[in-house]
Structure 1
Amino acid sequence: MDFYLFDSVKKEKLKFSPIKSGEVSIYVCGPTVYDDAHLG
């Protein structure tokens, strides 16, 4: 199954490919409990 992310600058979907094959990680600085969730 392929996974795509939407690039809001280019206005297109980009196929996601991990840096390390078979491994994906995400950095989260902490939950925003006082407002809507967001990235960035």
Structure 2
Amino acid sequence: MYKCWKCRKTVKDLDQSFVRCPYCGCRVLFKERQPIAKEVKAD
């Protein structure tokens, strides 16, 4: 799932050949991250 930078709406399906927000037409999208922090073991 992606989020539009301009209108902040969630975009679920993207056409692989054309990346654009279907609501406002903005071409800047960013991937939504999970709110859970990952724990990494460092030795």
Common fold, TM-score beyond 0.5?
no
Greater C-alpha Rg: 2
TM-score (norm 2): 0.27
